[in-house]
Structure 1
Amino acid sequence: MANPASPQTVTSADLVAGLRAVRARTLELVEGLDHADLMGPRLAIVNPLLWEIGHLAWFHEHFVLRGLDGREPLMAAADSLYDSAAVAHATRWDLPLPSLADTLAYMDRVQAALAARLDRRDPEPHEAYLYRLIAFHEDMHGEAFTYTRQTLGQPRPTFAAAFGGDAEAGPWPGDVEVGGGILMLGSEPEADRFVFDNEKWAHPVEIAPFRIARSPVTNADYEAFVDDNGYGNPHHWDAEGLAWRDGAGATRPVHWRRGADGWESRTFDRYEPLRPHRPVIHVNWHEARAWCRWAGRRLPTEAEWEAAAVAERAPDESLGSIKRTYPWGDAMPDAAVANLGGGGHGTVDVAAYAGGDSPWGCRQMIGNVWEWTESTFLPFPGFAPDAYREYSEPSFGSRKVLRGGAWATSGRFVTGMYRNFFGPERRDVFAGFRTVAL
């Protein structure tokens, strides 16, 4: 169960602080919700939040307290309620779930036991890996809680995270040219950070020179497509896209509507005038590709995206042999370089965060919106699953790769090598896209 790509020293204090930080976010996301909100309607794209927070505690207990120490469950029925690999999604609304108070009490017991087992000693490498895995897993669910609240039209959550960007910074049009060469796609074994199994391992990919947009596609860009009958013109959609469009009855992005003064978009529980320089968000892979056909562009491959985000420039303007961890360098993200962690309570204009530019001049490749790529989610050569076997392997071949993180994504785990993956039909996630010239 050890992760060979975690050579750095991690103390018990670091791990406990990380668990407390992600738990604080979880509590922010359920604050103020009543039982009806916590259950919500039965939808294929969401979980009942009451089930999901119990699943977090179960996941922590399963991998550490029970997986490492062989302890008895702290909740007798936990496996039959919260094991996501065994409990079918459609049945989660019908389970005899404990109340919110009892679920939070279960979370507290697990958290206390996790902290206690590290008292007065630092962890072994395999323990540190599992502690970070469970913390990052809760981070990911925190983002899922956030887009669930958006999907269901619940009130905007209040996040305590810091915000350092200029929300009204305006547009950032144009392309940059990225030199060709060999990119070592993925993470290196000696990476001084946590590495997820689907990032393993870096392998050579030859990339031709390409021109990529300096920023994601904006609302104004996408509005022009909608107003030009982009959804109604079959020329812009491939066969799978047409099938999705017709099945969903899609005529515009999912949260847009016509208001008295033009297009409006719903953000959580209220509609607001469409902000032209914000990145378009809540569009799926099919919608992104249809816009590209209309505009005479294309989506980047994930290798092109990673090259534009973190590959250094060689003196001859080709791809350098060194990659950064983030577009701006190797320092962890903060409120000055990326819109992450919920501090802005939503997207900001695409010209914001100049301090986070990549070596090639691309902006916001980390934060604001996830970015669809052309690539299908597949294993890298030599892939082997880590301890959480269900994390990547079941999704290979059926989902598309997204890169970069969104405004609600935690800065604790997202990097220039992190691979997200969703079905091409998903419009609920905080996803937009940037494009490449043909």
Structure 2
Amino acid sequence: MDATRTATGSDLMAALKDARARTLEMVDGLDDEALMGPRLSIVNPLLWEIGHLAWFHEHFILRGLDGRPPLRADADALYDSAAVPHATRWDLPLPSLAETLGYMDGVQSALAARLDGREPEPHEAYLYRLVGLHEDMHAEAFTYTRQTLGQPRPTFAAALAGEAEAGPHPGDVDVGGGLLRLGAERDATHFVFDNEKWAHPVEIAPFRIARAPVTNAEFAAFVEDGGYREPRHWDEAGRAWLAESGADHPIYWRRVGNDWMVREFDADAPLKPHRPMIHVNWHEARAWCRWAGRRLPSEAEWEAAAIGAREPDGGLAATKRTYPWGEAAPDRILANLDGLRLGTVDVAAHPEGDSPWGCRQMIGNVWEWTESPFLPYPGFAPDAYAEYSEPSFGTRKVLRGGAWATRARMVTGMYRNFFGPERRDVLAGFRTVAA
């Protein structure tokens, strides 16, 4: 049974309020110039984006369910992301930050009032979960926008002190072959996005996959070996990206003497060797794989290694888990999520979250590129947010697992993220399979 059928009004509003608190933390301390930022294809003006969140809540619930008039007469003209071209968002007559926050508060107060004293119907609960998770996605985007723009590291009230130093976690594990039901089952107890529907059989051949994502030290060896300058490591699309970008090392790395420094938000820091490689695109990940004699996993292989159950004889069982460790919701012991560390941790951290096959950090720390194009599962039909998945089919690549800034309530072993193969700004790394 889908969890939205049993969600209480207080549960739903608690999640919305928590998502809003993170949004407010992400814009706290930014002046008017920072709230607009430069005109780039990979970011939005933060002032526009937070107004869009309120519009999204209002559009699907207050207006979509209740037929209410908009709280702002200009809301659609300003904030409808499907109708307002990206390049024009800097030119709009956006309200001030104070006015925008007032609009956000008015929408959220109305969402709470409409549930006061009653429990939601299943479709209502679904929409409340949807708009809250949509805000969680934007909070992660706010995080890497601040990195892209060199703004100060955000401050989260729930952040943990100190760093998790755990070292490397080298080597491969064997994953047995068998039949995997890729995707979410119809009786799932977690929120299911439309592109996860529905589970269908995929035959998996036995394979060997890395225990952990590729580390900074491992990627640095590729850079030092001239990997960006060697065409044989790059396919045609990768070479075209190289020519256009002029890249000869990862985007935030900078050579200082014999060492690499990396920009973390607005400050440089020494490259930490045992942290997972992050801010690397699909082309860079595949080039590293060719250099190392490896390959990226398919998304079916990734899901099998992450949550597929293991038979006593080493084969892939017919059942799977929601998370690598089982059914318990993620916490700070099991995975690096929710921005609690304000960055990545060493790849050997969180052994308690290992998958049945011995893979570590399949959830959290960095998103992991897969070889697979983002395509619909058999029988796909868009859900209420019709623009979420369908427009991106066939143009993007699948990432799995979540990153350090991903909210724990959003990601499972079946969650599919998707970005263009050229994107280096997102919180993405990669794990490899023996070729």
TM over 0.5: yes
Structure 2 equivalent of residue 177 of structure 1: 174
Structure 1 equivalent of residue 119 of structure 2: 122
Matched, 1:323 2:300: no
Following superposition of structure 1 onto structure 2, how do residues 179-194 of structure 1 map, counting pairs within 5 Å? 179-194=176-191
Change (3 A) 1:148 1:126: same
Distance 2:316 2:272 in 1: 36
User: Alignment partner for residue 336 of structure 1, among 307, 316, 333?
Assistant: 333
Structure 1 equivalent of residue 214 of structure 2: 217
Distance 2:163 2:319 in 1: 31
Structure 2 equivalent of residue 430 of structure 1: 427
Distance 1:6 1:389 in 2: 21
User: Alignment partner for residue 277 of structure 1, among 274, 278, 293?
Assistant: 274
Q: In the alignment, is the contact (CA less than 8 A) between 2:163 and 2:341 conserved in 1? A: no
Distance 1:11 1:237 in 2: 51
Distance 1:411 1:163 in 2: 15
Unpaired stretches in structure 1, ≥5 consecutive residues: none
Matched, 1:231 2:228: yes
Structure 2 equivalent of residue 258 of structure 1: 255
Q: In the alignment, is the contact (CA less than 8 A) between 2:401 and 2:411 conserved in 1? A: yes
Structure 2 residue matching 1:322: 3-state secondary structure: strand
Q: In the alignment, is the contact (CA less than 8 A) between 2:5 and 2:121 conserved in 1? A: no
User: Alignment partner for residue 364 of structure 1, among 361, 365, 378?
Assistant: 361
Structure 2 equivalent of residue 240 of structure 1: 237
Matched, 1:355 2:352: yes
Q: In the alignment, is the contact (CA less than 8 A) between 2:5 and 2:125 conserved in 1? A: no
Deviations along 1:186-221, one digit per CA (max 9) or x if unpaired, are 000000111000000000000000000000000000
Shift of 1:328: 0.8
Structure 1 residue matching 2:300: 3-state secondary structure: helix
Matched, 1:303 2:293: no
Shift of 1:47: 0.3
Deviations along 1:159-207, one digit per CA (max 9) or x if unpaired, are 1235499621000000000000000000000001110000000000000
User: Alignment partner for residue 390 of structure 2, among 390, 393, 397?
Assistant: 393
Structure 2 residue matching 1:350: 3-state secondary structure: coil
Letter in 1 for 2:276: P
Letter in 2 for 1:243: A
- The count of aligned residue pairs is 435
Deviations along 1:370-404, one digit per CA (max 9) or x if unpaired, are 00000000000000000000000000000000000
Structure 1 residue matching 2:228: 3-state secondary structure: coil
Distance 2:47 2:322 in 1: 35
Matched, 1:61 2:58: yes
Distance 2:76 2:387 in 1: 16
Shift of 1:316: 1.5
Q: In the alignment, is the contact (CA less than 8 A) between 2:44 and 2:89 conserved in 1? A: yes
Structure 1 equivalent of residue 131 of structure 2: 134
Letter in 1 for 2:217: A
Distance 2:225 2:178 in 1: 38
User: Alignment partner for residue 26 of structure 1, among 20, 23, 26?
Assistant: 23
Shift of 1:322: 1.3
Distance 1:224 1:213 in 2: 17
Deviations along 1:25-57, one digit per CA (max 9) or x if unpaired, are 000000000010000000000000000000000
Shift of 1:259: 1.2
Q: In the alignment, is the contact (CA less than 8 A) between 2:227 and 2:291 conserved in 1? A: yes
Structure 2 equivalent of residue 289 of structure 1: 286
Letter in 2 for 1:320: A
RMSD: 1.1
Q: In the alignment, is the contact (CA less than 8 A) between 1:185 and 1:303 conserved in 2? A: yes
Q: In the alignment, is the contact (CA less than 8 A) between 1:310 and 1:327 conserved in 2? A: yes
Matched, 1:95 2:85: no
Q: In the alignment, is the contact (CA less than 8 A) between 1:164 and 1:335 conserved in 2? A: no
Distance 1:163 1:198 in 2: 33
User: Alignment partner for residue 268 of structure 1, among 265, 269, 272?
Assistant: 265
Structure 1 equivalent of residue 375 of structure 2: 378
Following TM superposition, the consecutive aligned residue runs of length 4 or more in structure 1 with deviations greater than 3 angstroms are: 4-8, 162-166
Change (3 A) 1:414 1:164: farther
Q: In the alignment, is the contact (CA less than 8 A) between 2:25 and 2:156 conserved in 1? A: yes
Distance 1:325 1:95 in 2: 43
Q: In the alignment, is the contact (CA less than 8 A) between 1:162 and 1:335 conserved in 2? A: no
Structure 2 equivalent of residue 51 of structure 1: 48
Q: In the alignment, is the contact (CA less than 8 A) between 1:178 and 1:210 conserved in 2? A: yes
Unpaired stretches in structure 2, ≥5 consecutive residues: none
Change (3 A) 1:222 1:62: same
Distance 2:316 2:160 in 1: 33
Structure 2 residue matching 1:28: 3-state secondary structure: helix
Structure 2 residue matching 1:182: 3-state secondary structure: strand
TM-score by length of 2: 0.99
Matched, 1:42 2:32: no
Letter in 2 for 1:390: E
Distance 2:5 2:356 in 1: 26
Letter in 2 for 1:77: D
Shift of 1:264: 0.6
User: Alignment partner for residue 342 of structure 2, among 338, 341, 345?
Assistant: 345
Distance 1:63 1:52 in 2: 17
Structure 2 residue matching 1:240: 3-state secondary structure: helix
